[in-house]
């Protein structure tokens, strides 16, 4: 099948002093092979928690309490520590907002890039050559000589390029990028997005791109998943979701003016109201307190996901229930 990653009804909770925090609830999504999916939502909506869980990374106080994360049909949430480590080295890679998260400050770039290739065939010098080639590909000048450098010797933008080189060195099937350009200025951001797009086309990997920049997602991604307070509220192709948003939350984000996203909107707009308490999740639709269309049914019944403008475009809102209005 052409589906690389399938998340089915995934729920993750965190233990907190106030009780169980239900950070992710009933998440469904699909990433086809070689596609770029944007994961968008306000801060605290669970997009980073979801992205990390795809790589088998759930914080120590967190538990997967239901559902499955299937990578080519194999459940990541049931893998042993060793299987996870092998998966992360080979099939799934990550890049982060802060490149230093992925880099060891006291080990040279060359050594780190050798270590990443621990399961790959070839001699040490072949692996060094591969590392230098990859650094050169991401635009590090004088790449072979830079293998002896330490992470702090690179500027912020160059450091993110090094991380991208490291993440793609083992030719993963899936790259998870958690706001990789948020810390960079606009010029560097454009360059990094362009680089990711080129590399994705060359290498054919799928990308899950976590972002709160709608404009960046519109530029880079094929598909988009919109999250709100720990749930997926809408998903589909960028074209369908951004030009024909079906969920009132997505509509609020786009301010009913899709033409704006390509040009100006870098940040998620602020919409009125506060996020619900995820320790005491309200019954009904999670968006009801902020939704201009909410009616009685919304406060009593959690909406299921409905087909919106096409078969791959889905939204969780009672407005889409042809029978129930």
Q: Which is nearer to Mg ion, 48 or 160 (CB)?
A: 48
253 lies in the site for ligand SF4, by CB under 6 A = no
> What's the closest the beta carbon of residue 180 comes to ligand SF4, in angstroms?
31
Q: Choose among Mg ion, ligand SF4, none what residue 318 binds, the Cβ cut-off being 5 to 8 Å by kind.
A: ligand SF4
**Binding span for ligand SF4 by CB under 6 A among 109-117, 200-208, 236-244, 292-300:** 292-300
Pairing label, strands 174-178, 92-95:
parallel
Q: Which of 24, 25, 48, 167 binds Mg ion (CB under 5 A)?
A: 48
Angle, nearest 10°, between helix axes 109-116 and 124-137? 110
> What's the closest the beta carbon of residue 287 comes to ligand SF4, in angstroms?
4
> What's the closest the beta carbon of residue 179 comes to Mg ion, in angstroms?
6
Angle, nearest 10°, between helix axes 124-137 and 156-168? 130
Q: Choose among ligand SF4, Mg ion, none what residue 288 binds, the Cβ cut-off being 5 to 8 Å by kind.
A: ligand SF4
How many residues interact with Mg ion (rule CB under 5 A)?
1
> What's the closest the beta carbon of residue 176 comes to Mg ion, in angstroms?
12
293 lies in the site for ligand SF4, by CB under 6 A = yes
CA distance 247 to 255: 12
Write the DSSP symbol of residue 25.
E
CA distance 320 to 307: 8
Distance set, CA 82 to CA 69, 76, 166 (Å):
17, 12, 20
**Binding span for ligand SF4 by CB under 6 A among 146-154, 192-200, 234-242, 290-298:** 290-298
> What's the closest the beta carbon of residue 49 comes to Mg ion, in angstroms?
8
317 lies in the site for ligand SF4, by CB under 6 A = yes
Q: Which is nearer to ligand SF4, 78 or 299 (CB)?
A: 299
Per DSSP, what are the bridge partners of residue 16? 19
**Binding span for Mg ion by CB under 5 A among 47-55, 83-91, 121-129, 229-237:** 47-55
250 lies in the site for Mg ion, by CB under 5 A = no
In SS3 terms, 171-192 reads as: CCCEEEEECCCCCCCHHHHHHH
DSSP codes joined into one string, 264-304: T--SPPP-SS-PPPSSSPPSS-TTGGG-TT--HHHHHS---
Q: Choose among Mg ion, ligand SF4, none what residue 294 binds, the Cβ cut-off being 5 to 8 Å by kind.
A: ligand SF4
Strands lying side by side in the sheet with 3-16:
19-32, 3-16, 62-71, 74-75
Q: Which is nearer to ligand SF4, 132 or 285 (CB)?
A: 285
């Amino acid at each position: 099948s052409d589906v690389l990653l399938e998340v089915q009804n995934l729920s993750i909770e965190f233990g907190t002093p106030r009780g169980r925090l239900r950070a992710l609830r009933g998440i469904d999504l699909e990433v086809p092979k070689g596609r770029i999916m944007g994961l968008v939502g306000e801060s605290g909506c669970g997009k980073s928690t979801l992205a990390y869980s795809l790589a088998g990374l759930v914080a120590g106080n967190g538990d997967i309490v239901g559902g499955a994360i299937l990578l080519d049909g194999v459940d990541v949430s049931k893998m042993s520590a060793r299987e996870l480590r092998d998966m992360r080295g080979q099939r799934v890679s990550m890049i982060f907002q802060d490149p230093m998260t992925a880099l060891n400050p006291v080990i040279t770039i060359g050594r780190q890039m050798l270590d990443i290739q621990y399961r790959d065939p070839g001699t040490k010098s072949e692996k060094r050559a591969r590392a230098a080639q990859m650094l050169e590909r991401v635009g590090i000048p004088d790449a072979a000589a830079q293998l002896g450098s330490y992470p702090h010797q690179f500027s912020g933008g160059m450091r993110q390029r090094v991380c991208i080189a490291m993440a793609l060195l083992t030719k993963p099937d899936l790259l998870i990028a958690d706001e990789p350009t948020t810390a960079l200025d606009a010029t560097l951001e454009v360059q990094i997005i362009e680089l990711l797009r080129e590399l994705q086309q060359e290498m054919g990997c799928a990308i899950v791109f976590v972002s709160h920049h709608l404009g960046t997602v519109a530029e880079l991604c094929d598909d988009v998943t919109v999250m709100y307070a720990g749930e997926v509220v809408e998903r589909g192709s960028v074209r369908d979701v951004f030009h024909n948003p079906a969920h009132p939350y997505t509509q609020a984000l786009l301010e009913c003016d899709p033409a704006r996203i390509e040009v100006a909107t870098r940040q998620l707009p602020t919409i009125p109201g506060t996020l619900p308490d995820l320790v005491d999740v309200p019954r009904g639709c999670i968006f009801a307190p902020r939704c201009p269309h909410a009616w009685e049914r919304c406060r009593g019944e959690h909406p299921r996901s409905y087909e919106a403008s096409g078969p791959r475009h889905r939204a969780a809102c009672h407005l889409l229930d042809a029978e129930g209005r």
